[in-house]
Amino acid sequence: MPVVKFTTTEYGLRGEGLILSPDAPYRSVLGKAFDRIHDRNTKRQESSEEELDRLPLDITIEWHARKMSFDQLKLFWVLLEIAASMQADAAIPSPGEIKRLANSLYEDYLKTQGPRAEVIINAEAEMQMRERFDRILVRSVLEDGRIYLIALLGASQWTTAQATAAIDYWFNELASMGVPVGDEAGIAHYWREWRLHLATEGIDIVDSDSGISADEYRLMTPISECCGSWLGLGGEIAHIKARGVGGNPEDYKDRPGNWLHLCVEHHRQFQHQKGWASLVKIAPWLRPKVEKALGRKV
């Protein structure tokens, strides 16, 4: 029996089927493997006097969470512990209390914000899926007897994008609690290193081409993208490439890829008066986005 093995970190649902996308290194090899199996089956039927059943194909799937860079999980738990210390009753909470509160915040995050996995499987595979996804939210039996499950993905199973969303969420939460994210006395070193990492890897927190409004962008970036100060729906939207006089013929100028949510000081005193070169000097993580929008070096 032919056997095909590959790793996958991407999946989705199409109709009643589970669609698996092989990781890049396996795609060309898989294509050749399926071609050879198809040719073999065709030759068997052509050479036989009686029609033979096609050779069954045994596919083994190994699920791998994407490797996370920048110690993403470590940073995630550091932020949870800081949030836990803010909520602790004692002035100096014990390590055990911090851990308990951090775990509670983690479970709450999973239930309200965490990524989900949706699968349709046969009854025999349900136990295996429950071992991998131990937080089952929805279970239903379909008309054909297969099982439909929605499960929460634990942090160790997150993709890089899912971990990025979680970390950014907790930076925003801490800022809303009054933690000085951009202040050296607070957690600025974590935030600045994180922002530099995102810029280096080319990761956008907000899709640069999405058609959201400026207020929606403010909600998604509630702290200043330059200094980390809490803005909420305040602050100002800076247009990297000026909209110009007489309207906005280029739709891109009113897209997230051309916006920065900044505090009044850095928008007016640095960007307006001294230019983008001055701003990216104090916030180097903004350089890739600014240069991409402007179409030139600054």
Nearest to 225 by CA among 160, 271, 186: 271
Q: Which residues span the domain enclosing 262?
A: 204-298
pTM of the model as a whole:
0.70
What is the pLDDT, as a whole number, of residue 124?
Answer: 79
Predicted confidence band at 217 (pLDDT cuts at 50, 70, 90)?
very high
Of 35-44, 49-58, 83-92, 112-121, the poorest mean pLDDT is in 49-58
In a domain, 187, yes or no: no
143 and 218 together in one domain: no
Residue 208 sits in the same domain as residue 297:
yes
| 85 found inside a domain | no
Tell me the two tokens of residue 83.
């949030």
Domain identity same for 273 and 209: yes
Q: What is the pLDDT of residues 231-258, one digit of tens each?
A: 999 999 999 988 664 445 455 578 999 9
- Contact in structure between 263 and 183 (CB atoms under 8 Å): no
Edge-to-edge order in the sheet of strand 58-63: 17-22, 3-14, 58-63
**Which of 77-86, 121-130, 189-198 shows the lowest mean pLDDT across its residues?**
121-130
**122 and 43, same structural domain?**
no
Specify whether 227 is located in the same domain as 288. yes
164 — pLDDT class (breaks 50, 70, 90)? very high
CA gyration radius, the chain: 25
- Measured in whole angstroms, the distance separating CA 5 from the mean position of its chain's CA atoms is 27
Whether 177 maps to a domain, the answer reads: no
Q: Report the number of distinct structural domains present in the chain.
A: 3
Same domain, 226 and 136: no
In a domain, 184, yes or no: no
- Give which of 64, 68, 55, 67 is closest to 26, Cα–Cα: 64
Average of pLDDT values for 170-194?
85
120 is a domain residue:
yes
Of 10-24, 109-123, 201-215, the one with minimum mean pLDDT is: 10-24
> C-alpha angle with apex 290: 161 to 176, nearest 5 degrees?
55
Rounded mean pLDDT, 184-211: 87
| Mean pLDDT value across the chain | 81
3-state SS of the chain is CCEEEEEEEEEEEECCEEEEEECHHHHHHHHHHHHHHHHHHHHHHHHCCCCCCCCCCEEEEEECCCCCCCCHHHHHHHHHHHHHHHHCCCCCCCHHHHHHHHHHHHHHHHHHCCCEEEEEECHHHHHHHHHHCCEEEEEEECCCCCEEEEEECCHHHCCHHHHHHHHHHHHHHHHHHCCCCCCCCCCHHHHHHHHHHHHHHCCCCCCCCCCCCHHHHHHHCCECCCCCCECCCCCEEEECCCCCCCCCCCHHHHCHHHEEEECHHHHHHHHHHHCHHHHHHHCHHHHHHHHHHHCCCC
Calculate mean pLDDT across residues 9-37. Answer: 61
pLDDT band at 65 (very low <50, low <70, confident <90, very high): very low
- For the ranges 96-100, 183-187, 269-273, 288-292, which has the lowest average pLDDT? 183-187
Q: 262-273: buried (b, 16+ CB within 10 Å) or exposed (e) per residue?
A: bbeebbeebbee
User: Would strands 147-152 and 135-141 be described as parallel, antiparallel, or unpaired?
Assistant: antiparallel
Query: Can you give the pLDDT at residue 249?
Result: 47
Percent above pLDDT 70 for the chain: 73
The C-alpha atoms of residue 37 and residue 54 are separated, in whole angstroms, by: 10
The string of pLDDT tens digits covering residues 254-276 is 899 999 999 999 999 888 899 99
pLDDT of residue 23: 59
